[in-house]
Structure formats: structure tokens, C-alpha cells
Structure 1
Amino acid sequence: MSGILRAVAFVLVALSCPLTHASDLRGSLTSLGINASFPGDASYTLASSPFNLRFTFQPAAIAFPKTAQEVSEIVKIGAAQKLRVVARSGGHSYIANGLGGRNGALVIDLRRFDKITIDSVKGTAIIESGNSLGDIASTLAQAGRALPHGTCPYVGIGGHAAYGGFGFTSRMWGLTLDTVNAVNIVLANATVSRITNQNNPDLFWALRGSAGSFGIVTSIEVTTFPAPPSATVFTYTWNLTVADTSKGIAAYQSFVQTDIPPQFGCEVNLFRGPASGTVTFSLTGGWYGPARGLNSTLAPLLRQMPRGPQITLNTGTYLNSVVDLAGGSLDTKSQPDSHDTFYAKSLITPENSPMSNTAIHAFADYLANEGFTSKTDWFVQLELYGGKNSAINAVAPDATAFAHRSSIFTIQFYASSPGKTPPYPQYGFTFLDGMVKTITFNSPSNWNYGAYPNYIDDRLVDWRARYYGAHYGRLMSLKAKYDPHDIFAFPTGIEE
């Protein structure tokens, strides 16, 4: 066969196979009574819309099961048709992995898995994977309970708990995944399983840090905590020069390594300053002890900062603090989630090798100058993970697949396109890459920093080491055992 004929034959096969698969897929799902949306359907555009509009993936179908058994049937269909299968909980994956991370995936949308069952006697809860953080906080609060988690009410519990789950109560209670006692999951062989440390310690280990690579989690069983009787949300804001920004970050880094109580959680947020050569520096967080204790806790840091910050303090119930940090509402039903067009990166800084003064100064200078002229809408967050008395770092390094148990900060670098609309400009990537390099290039050559899997970066070359560290080899072995045909495959997922 000539080269031209071979090329024509290849094109004909490529065109016919998707149509055949789509027809088979629709028929298979319809015969089981499983609702689904396919390319060309009126519902498809909305159903396949990502949170981050930098991506425009086209799944083969988006299925909306109601039971774990239906999830099992979908996994069987996907395996039979050699489709990659992914779960979507809240749809907030930074690189649209909830849509497969590339074209052609079979998406299992878990929005109908929205039950929360609380056992007030045991202090536990069963949370289905379609719940948002806003739903969870509101429901638990009605029973006087709480869980460590992030502040955005629209984020789904599925990915949040699968890869970490940081919030301002995490120094007191740990990450969301640290509260998980059992995982209800559909595995690659389509079995519906309840995985615990007692019946399958290896898989239970992997599910707390990389669950999406091993199955479709339909619910998690967690330990909850009594909601604190009082909570204070605080914000202190300055507009600073490069020198004062450097001093502020260095002071913050030193302060958090002192004997601060676990009831204190915070982050430093950095934004474009009002003029070239300046940075807006905002210290914000939650204090979950008696209100009178906040001033004495913060005093050593505030003494090292310039005078006259803008201060906002809001003391009330724990639920009030969650609402405040969420922007004023936990209601995710009456208002649709927003979209953005952005790129994000992260660094997790090691406790045994804090950022050097040289790195801090270079970083501050970059923000104050390049940051002022950048056309992107950017921010940086230095989230406090560690320091003494941190429940995150109290967990043994190898107790879960989450690899970062000796850190100080998780730093998120985030830049949106002008107007938050596509296309995303090349200068946005260059800007954030340069920002991160001011820290990494001014640190030791063997600096053992990490990256946070929930701030996922599709351009991170060494993601295996940065996200999973020394755990990646063990995760690969478990992937080969539990998903040998790589059914649950997506960018930066565990490879078999």
C-alpha cells in the first residue's frame, strides 16, 4: 500500500472509531438508565465547562450516576471501551483533570452524591463526594461539629480530601485527609469497596494523598471535631517598600517557627502595590481560642512590622468565621460558581531549610517591580503549614501518601489573564516562572522543596518528585497492582 493510501486509511479509521465508540457508549449508559451528556447534546457545553477556562477539553461523555453500583457499571463500560475514566467532584481542578485533563475521557460527575450523615455520639460523619465545602461546613455546624478544610465554598470534597485539604484550622486539626477513617470507592476492577487501615493498609495509605489514581471515591468517613465556641478572623494590611516587604516576610518566617499555639492559623497574602516598588502585604487568618489570646499571640510579629496597618477583626461563632472567610456566604446552590482563566504554581518550603534572606529579598523586589508592570491579575499566598504545635507536621512522614510533613509554608503563586477571560497570555507563564525562580535560584542547589498537588501545575517538569517525593515509587507499585490497565489516568496522576 502506498504512503498516500496508508494515510487515507488511517484518517478513515480515526474518523470512524470515535463515532462507533460514541454510539456504543451512549447505548451502554442508556440501557442502564444512567443519565449522561455527549458532544452535540444541548447540555454538553455547560456540563463540560471547566473552572479554569485556559482549558477546553472534550470528554467522550459525562455521566451522572446516583449510586455506587451505577459508578461500578460506568467503570466497566469505560474499561470495555478502553476509555480513561475520571471523577469530578466540585470541578475545581486547576488543570481540568475533572474533565480528564485531555480529550476523550469518560467523566463520572458525582454531584448526585450529596448526602452527609453525622454520628453525634461517635463524632464521625460520612460525606459523599458530590458535596462542596460550603455544604459540609453548614451541615456539620448544625450538629456543633467541624472539619479542617479550605475557605472556598464551591470546592468539592472529592479532590480536596484526596490530595491534602488545607485550612486555617489545619494547624489544630490537620489536613482534611488526616481525618479520613474509611474510603468508599469503586476500583478499576469495578468492585465497590470500603477501604480502611485495618482491611487494606497499603491502599488506604495511597488513597490519602493520591486517591484519584486508584478509583472513584463515592464517600469518605471522617472524624469531626467540636466546633470551637469562639473564632476570630483577622486581617492586618500594609503597603510596603521592597525593604519592608523583605523584612516582613523574614519576620513572618521567624515568628511561625516559635512556640505559637495550634489554635492560630494564618497566611500572608501579597498583591500588586499602589506604586512601582511597593507590595501590598496582608496577614490574614483565624484564631480559634478565646478572643483575648489573639493579641498576645500576634504581638511578637506585629512589633517587627511597620506601624499603622489597616486592621479588621471579626469575633463570633465558628460558623461565622467560616462564612466570613468564604466571602460572606456558604450558599453554593442559588449562585453559580464563577470561572477564571489562570495559571498557578506552588512551593512547599522545608522546615530544616527556610527561605534565605537573599531569596526573600529577590522575591520581594520581583513582586514590587515586575509585579507592578505585569498585565496579569496576580496574588501570592504564604500559607502556614508548620511551626511548632502543627497537627500537619505531627503526622509521621510515611503515615499517608501526602509527602510533606516537615514544611513551613505552602506558597501559592497565581496569575489570571486580563479580565479573567481566555486566551491565557504567554507573558503570564513567563511572569510566574520568573517569580518562583527568584526563590529557587537563590536557595541551595539541593534545596528539598515540594509542591502542593491541589495547586496542580501542568507545566511542572519534575512533578513526581515535587508532589509525591519519596512516596512516588511505592505509589507506582500500588498503581500497577490496583489499576494495571491505567483506567484512572490523567495528567500528573500516578503512572502504572
Structure 2
Amino acid sequence: MDKVTRRGLLGGTAALGCAAMTAGVAPSAAASAEPRFGPIVVRPADPRYEDLAEHRANHRFRPRPDYFHVVGSTEQVVAAVNAAVRENRRVTVRSGGHCYENFVGDGAQVVIDMCGMSEVSFDRRRGAFCVEAGATLLQAYRRLYLGWGVTIPGGQCGGVAAGGHIAGGGYGPLSRRHGLTVDYLHAVEVVVADRSGRARAVVATRDPDDPNHDLWWAHTGGGGGNFGIVTRYWMRDPDVRGGDPAELLPRPPATMLSGVGLWSWDGMTKESFRRLLRNYAEWHQRHNSPGGPEASLFGSLLVGGRQPAADPGGIVLPAEIDAAVPGAETLLRDHFAAVGEGVTPDVFVTPFQRAPWYQHMHTASTGGVSEAGRYKGKSAYLREPFTDAQADVAFDHLGTAGDVSKSGLLWLLGYGGQVNTVPPAATATVERESIMKMIHLVTWEEGQDGAAHLEWVRRLHQGTFEATGGVPVPGGNCGGAYINYPDTDHADPAWNTSGVPWSTIYYGANYARLQRVKARWDPRDVFHHALSVRLPT
């Protein structure tokens, strides 16, 4: 892959991976007495403008607002929104900058940048951990683990910020064992704008008696950029009582055991490729129950495009497990054997490595590869294995060497387990039946033919879901698509011929409720983008 790390897009690239939006508390409850940073307004003549314009992961898009508003407190966000609405300027928000689509830059006249709000702490008054929207996942993991020995089951891309990641659902290597990130969302603070355009901060909680509860619910998978600007999240396990911080979030493994399985494209037939994809999916079908030892194992199958020359690592399966699970080494070896059973050529498995959990996460998160580049990604939830016809589409696109296909990727990621124990309506994350997530991805560099790369990945996705109008319509072996991996093609009738609206693909039966939340908390549609929740008509 060119400049975009394949790990870097896991779980973190949020629906508004850059912009996280929600609603929260009364201003007095939100504020810090002394702003520790900002506000800073940066206009095009300011030399800092170009740095802020470059602060993004997907270099396909470049925001050019009238100004960037860099904020350091909830009060500053309120003031920034009030100013933008008063001046009738279109406002968007950015936390980490990891967005598949141009939701931040498209038509934005004011970009509110949350990088100055990056604190992670324990809030004794609320009895929960407070994570500000601009904190990156790696910052959050480090602070939670070193401070209290706990973590959240979030993504591997350390540069993704909490703002968009959590609002869209959030998942990662610990999700099969512990569930989604939003399953631990206790409360959220959001800056919203009322019908008159006046901004205020609101805190919404998990408590069903909270009059703002619907706003909390919308941020458990409703995606960023819909209802307001998220400034802070509070996280704790809803099933744990007491006030000891060390007991209020999951404890990560002390040590991780990991290895990598490798297959070469040389000698890989279409029949063998079908078997490989089916084996990977069937392992997850067999081990989809929560609580078993296999729930602690996470593996992702990366099918990279065949290179012009033989590439022995063309298909890669990195996998990891809690080293303290009884028989961990055997479970990991059995996983590689099960995925490679009956596949030619044989799998080559690297020697296993042991590392402390945070060191392992830091290495996996950074990987020595930039998370920036030009890319187009498309996603789907998979409830069952690919059909042979779907596997053949992937083989035809990736198994033939070419200038475009060599930078393409089919990525299957382990899912399910504890995730699927939550009812679909309990959170805005409606899909709770899948065993895998799937990403179609292509990357390219400046000077390469971007149009050809876009056409390639669009045809791969369209062909994979040809039976359902070119898009992952929920039903059969598919569970729709993940809003943190947004794809505007799903709303384009040229690529979506299913007759099923994009909102059903991403939100299913939960969309009508999200629209009601939108009508209550953002009646002027101040916060919107190409795939934002629409006001009801």
C-alpha cells in the first residue's frame, strides 16, 4: 500500500473521523475556569493556515475555510458556533482528521479544530473517565492504562481522535471480547444550536430518565457531524457498580501473543482463494460466542493486490491473543491452520512474538508508516462468508497484476462476539449480527491517475454486491455498512441501483429515531454533510 497504513484505517477512521459532533451539558457544568489553550483564529494570510489545511489523513481533500478556529474549552466551542451562525457561515468540525470523505472541507467556511481539547482524566463527580474529543486513541490508551490499568475497546489507528471514533460506534482488537467503544459510553457533552441559532452546551447521559437521553443514544453510533459538536465523552462500564476507577473500564491483557500468516499469490487458484476467504469467515462463525477463549483472539485478513513481480506476502493474516488465556499459543496456531486448511500455496507463519499490551498497541498503531495519503474506502458488515461469486470478484480484481490493482486491498476484520450481545435498538449502532467487517480500499500518490483508482475500487465494490444493486443492503450475508467508513457512492444512484436509501444501509431501522433526535437538537441543520442524518419531512 502506498502511503496509507492498512492498520491506520482500522476502527478509527471515523464517519467524521476528523469531526465528532454531539450535544452535552449546561455551560456551567462544561467549563474549565481557566482556558488552558485558545481560542485561536487562523486566516489564510497567517502562516499557520497551511499547517492546519494539511492536518488531515486523506490527501484527496483539502479544507480551505475562511478561517480555522482552534479551541481549548467547551465555552470556546460555544462562542465559535455562535459567531459562525451569526455571520451565516457554514461550520464543520475536525478532531483527528481521519475521514474517508470530504465532510470537513466540503463548503466549509469555518472549521473548528478540536486538537486543543485532548485531556483524559477521571471525573469523580460523574464516576467516569472523561475523554475530550481531540484526544487521539493512543493518547487515551496511554493515559487510561498507565493511570488506572484500564482501557476502552477502540481502534488500532492511534492518530484517530475520540471525537469521531466514538460517535460512530468505535471498535478494535478487544471488541470481540469486550464489545464496542460506545457500549461504555456513560455521558457525552455536545454543543448544539437551537432554532434561533443560539449555541449552548448540553450533557446527555445513559440514564433513561435523563431528559437529554435521546442525544446520548444518538451518539452511540449515529456518526459525527449530525447533531452538534462533541466536546467530551465520559466512559464507564454500565454493569459495574462502585467508584474504584480501576474497576470501571475493561482491563487489557498484560501481554499479547502475536504472529502473522502469509500466502503468496503464486500458485493461488480461484478455487483456493474461495477456500481461504471461506475458512476465515467460518472460523468466526464457529467462535462467535462471547466469553470463550477464542473471543480473545483478533485476526484481520489483508488481501493485497498482486504485484508485477512475485510477492510472497501478497495475502497477510496478522493475529493476536491475550497471552494469559489458557493454551494461547495453541489457539493462535490453530487459527492459522484453520484459515489455511486446504489452501494452496501453504501458509507461512512467522515466529510468535510476546509484548506488553501498551507496547504492542503502540507498535500496531504507529507501525512506522504514515497514515496520510490519497485513498478511497468502502465498507460492509458481513454476517456470513462471501459467496463464491463474491470471492471471485475479489480474485479477479486483486489477483491480476496491474498498476492500479497492486495498490488495492480487500480487508476482512474479526468482529462479533460480545458486540452481538447488545440489542439493535439499545444503541444507534443497529448492526449486531455480523461476524466480520469488510473494507475495499485503494490508495495512490500525487501524480498518479486518481480517476483510474477510484473507478477500480468502485467496480470492485459494485461487483461484490451486484446481487443487491451494487451496495451492501442489509440482509442475507450482509449487514449494511459502517458509518465511520462513510462512502458517498452509497447515496449516488449511479452506484447504488438497489432502490434502498443510503440511510438504511448505515442505520437500518434506527434511522427514524435519529431523525427525531436531529429535529430536536439541530432544527436549523447547522451541522451537516453529504451523509448526515436528514431532518424529517
Same fold (TM over 0.5): yes
Change (3 A) 1:167 1:54: same
- Which one of the candidate residues 250, 273, 291 is aligned to 1:245? 273
- The offset of 1:320, in angstroms, is 2.3
Which stretch has the larger CA shift, 51-60 or 244-253?
51-60
Match of residue 59 from structure 2? 53
Point out the more displaced range, 464-473 or 178-187.
464-473
How far apart are 1:442 and its partner, in Å? 5.0
Per-residue deviation, residues 299-358 of structure 1 (Å, max 9, x unmatched): 4434444534142422222112212312457xxxxx9x6531111111222x2x542122
Cα-to-partner distance string for 1:30-73 (whole Å, 9 max, x where unaligned): xx973111233222122122321212332222111221111111
**Superposed displacement of residue 483, structure 1:** 0.5
Give the counterpart letter for 1:166 in structure 2.
Answer: Y
Q: CA RMSD in A?
A: 2.7
Question: TM-score w.r.t. structure 2 length?
Answer: 0.77
Provide the secondary structure at the position in 1 that maps to 2:396: helix
Deviation of the 1:437 alpha carbon: 2.6
Q: What is the SS of the residue equivalent to 1:185? A: strand
Supply the AA of the counterpart residue of 1:484: P
What residue in structure 2 maps to residue 90 of structure 1? 96
1:343–1:416 Cα contact (<8 Å) kept: yes
> Residues 266-309 of structure 1: CA distance to partner in whole angstroms, max 9, x if unpaired?
21111123568998221113212526324235244344445341
Shift of 1:255: 1.2
Q: What does residue range 67-86 of structure 1 map to in structure 2 within 5 Å?
A: 67-86=73-92
What is the aligned partner in structure 1 of residue 219 from structure 2? 207
Partner of 1:19: none
The corresponding residue for 2:303 is 270
Equivalent in the alignment of 1:379: 409
Match of 2:430 among 403, 416, 419: 403
Cross-structure match for 1:133? 137
Residues 1:230 and 2:252 are matched in the alignment: no
Contact 1:277–1:365 (CA under 8 A) maintained in structure 2? no
Question: 1:323/1:313 Cα in 2 relative to 1: closer, same or farther (>3 Å)?
Answer: farther
Cα distance in 1 for partners of 2:39, 2:123 equals 31
The AA in structure 2 aligned to 1:218 is T
1:192 aligns with 2:201: yes
Rounded Cα–Cα distance in structure 1 between residues aligned with 2:286 and 2:469: 24
Report the secondary structure of 1:131's partner residue: coil
Q: How does 1:140-151 map to 2 (within 5 A)?
A: 140-142=144-146, 143-151=148-156
Per the alignment, in what secondary structure is the counterpart of residue 160 of structure 2?
coil
Amino acid at match of 1:235: V
Would the alpha carbon gap of residues 145 and 382 (structure 1) be closer, same or farther in structure 2, given more than 3 Å must change? same
Contact 2:189/2:201 (8 A) holds in 1: yes
Which structure has the greater CA radius of gyration? 1
* Aligned-partner Cα distance in 2 for 1:495–1:48: 28
- 2:330 pairs with 274, 284, 295, which one? 295
Give 2:394's aligned residue: 363
Give, in whole Å, the separation in 2 of the partners of 1:121 and 1:186: 21
Q: Match for 1:413: what amino acid? A: H
Q: Match for residue 317 of structure 2?
A: 283
Q: Structure 1 residues 234 and 160 mapped into 2: Cα distance closer, same or farther (>3 Å)?
A: same
SS of 2:435's partner is strand
Question: Which of 170, 187, 197 lines up with 2:175 in the alignment?
Answer: 170
Residues 1:163 and 1:247: Cα distance change in structure 2 (over 3 Å): same
CA distance in 1, matches of 2:385, 2:170: 23
Structure 2 SS opposite 1:145:
coil
1:48 alignment partner, SS class: helix
Q: 1:29 matched to which residue of 2?
A: none
Alpha carbons of 1:300 and 1:270: their partners in 2 closer, same or farther (altered >3 Å)?
closer
Q: Does the CA contact (< 8 Å) of 1:268 and 1:281 recur in 2?
A: yes
CA distance in 2, matches of 1:252, 1:173: 21
Contact map agreement 1:238 1:310 (CA 8 A) in 2:
no
Q: Which residue of 1 aligns with 2:47?
A: 42
Contact map agreement 1:101 1:491 (CA 8 A) in 2: no
Give the structure 2 partner of residue 464 of structure 1.
503
Q: Conserved in 2, the CA contact under 8 Å of 1:263 and 1:289?
A: no
**Corresponding position of 2:3:** none
Task: Give the match for residue 440 of structure 1.
Answer: 465
Task: Find the aligned partners of 2:63 and 2:230 in 1 and give their Cα distance.
Answer: 22
Separation in structure 2 between the aligned mates of residue 171 and residue 372 of structure 1, nearest angstrom: 36
1:120 and 1:368 map into 2 onto residues whose CA distance is 55
Query: Per the alignment, in what secondary structure is the counterpart of residue 59 of structure 1?
Result: coil
Give the direction of change, closer, same or farther, for the CA distance of 1:424–1:226 in structure 2 (3 Å limit).
same
1:366 Cα deviation from its structure 2 partner: 2.5
The secondary structure found in structure 1 opposite 2:428 is coil
Note closer, same or farther for the CA distance 1:354–1:328 as it changes in structure 2 (3 Å cut): closer
Partner-residue secondary structure (3-state), 2:314: strand
**Structure 1 Cα separation of the partners of residues 206 and 38 of structure 2:** 35
1:28 paired residue number = none
Segment drifting more, 287-296 vs 231-240: 287-296
Secondary structure, aligned partner of 1:167: coil
C-alpha distance in 2, partners of 1:487/1:185?
Answer: 13
1:5 is aligned to none
Structure 1 stretches lacking a partner, 5+ long = 1-31, 330-334
Contact 2:128 2:186 in 1 (8 A): no
Whole-angstrom distance in 2 between the partners of 1:151 and 1:407: 20
The answer to whether the 8 A contact 1:276-1:372 is kept is: no
443, 448, 452: which one pairs with 1:416? Answer: 443
**Would the aligned equivalents of 1:251 and 1:304 in 2 still touch at CA under 8 Å?**
no
- Aligned partner of residue 193 in structure 2, secondary structure: coil
Distance in 2 (alpha carbons) for counterparts of 1:327 and 1:56: 23
Taking the aligned partners of 1:447 and 1:140, their CA distance within structure 2 comes to 36
Q: Give, in whole Å, the separation in 1 of the partners of 2:38 and 2:281.
A: 56
Deviation, 1:237, is 0.9
Deviation at 1:423, TM superposition (A): 6.5
| Larger RCO (CA within 8 A; separation ≥ 6) | 2
Change beyond 3 A, Cα 1:409–1:457: same
Moved more, 111-120 or 316-325: 111-120
Match of 1:320 in 2: 359
Cα deviation, residue 137, structure 1: 1.5
CA gap of 1:101–1:366, structure 2 versus 1, over 3 A, is: same
Task: State how far apart, in whole Å, the 1-side matches of 2:250 and 2:474 are.
Answer: 36
Per-residue deviation, residues 167-199 of structure 1 (Å, max 9, x unmatched): 111111112222211001111232212110221
Q: Report the Cα offset of residue 238 of structure 1.
A: 0.9
Residues 425 and 186 of structure 1: CA distance in aligned 2, closer, same or farther (over 3 Å): same
- Cα displacement (A) at 1:411: 0.9
TM-score by length of 1: 0.83
> How far has the Cα of 1:235 moved from its partner?
1.3
Alignment partner for residue 259 of structure 1, among 262, 287, 305?
A: 287
Contact 1:378 1:414 in 2 (8 A): yes
User: Hey, which of these two has a bigger chunk of helix by percent?
Assistant: 1
Q: Is the contact made by 1:255 and 1:301 (CA closer than 8 Å) also made in structure 2?
A: yes
How many residue pairs align between the two structures? 449
Contact 1:232 1:321 in 2 (8 A): no
SS in 2 for 1:213: coil
